[in-house]
Structure 1
Amino acid sequence: MGGIGIWQLVIVLLIVFLLFGTKRLKGLGSDVGEAIQGFRKSMGGDNDTSTPGEAPLTGQATQQPQADRQA
C-alpha cells in the first residue's frame, strides 16, 4: 500500500494520451526542452562543451592510429 504501481502509471498515461493527443504532447515536450535549455544558458551552466566543427561523443571508445615502433 502507498506506492504507485506500474498499472496505475499505464492507466494515467493512457488517459493523458486520450485527452491531449500525441501532437499536443510532442509540442509540449519540445517547449519544455527549450525552456530548460534557456534556463541553463541564463544560469551559465550550459554543458555543451563541443566546438561547432567537432562531433559530439557517443560514449564509445574510438581508436586512434598509432605509429609503428621498432625497438
Structure 2
Amino acid sequence: MGDLFTIQHLLLILLIVVLVFGTKKLRNIGSDLGGAVKSFKEGMAGNETAASEEKKPLEEKAANSVQQDVANKTKEHS
C-alpha cells in the first residue's frame, strides 16, 4: 500500500497510451524528441566553441597591449 506506482500501474498506463495514440504516432514523437535533443546538444557545443574563439583575439590584443606598454616605458627610461 506504500507504493504509489508499481510496475503493474506503469505497464497499464503504457498500454493505455499505446491504445490511444498508436505505435506509429509514438514512434514519430520519439524521433522528433530525439532530434530536438540532438540539435540542442549541437547548439550548446557550438556556443562553447564560438565563445572560446571570441576569447582568443581578445587575449592576443591584451598581450599586444601589454607588450607595447612595456616597450614604451623602456623607451622613456632610456
Scaled to the shorter chain, the TM-score interval is: 0.5 to 0.7
Distance 1:9 1:41 in 2: 33
Q: Which 4+ stretches in 1 moved above 3 angstroms?
A: none
Match of 1:7? 8
Ranges in structure 2 where 5+ consecutive residues have no aligned partner: 47-78
3-state secondary structure, aligned to 1:34: helix
Ranges in structure 1 where 5+ consecutive residues have no aligned partner: 46-71
Q: Give 1 or 2 for the bigger CA radius of gyration.
A: 2
Output the aligned Cα RMSD: 1.4
More helix by percentage: 2
Aligned residue pairs, count: 45
Identical amino acids, percent of aligned pairs:
44
Distance 2:30 2:10 in 1: 18
Q: TM-score, normalised by structure 1?
A: 0.59
Match of 1:43? 44
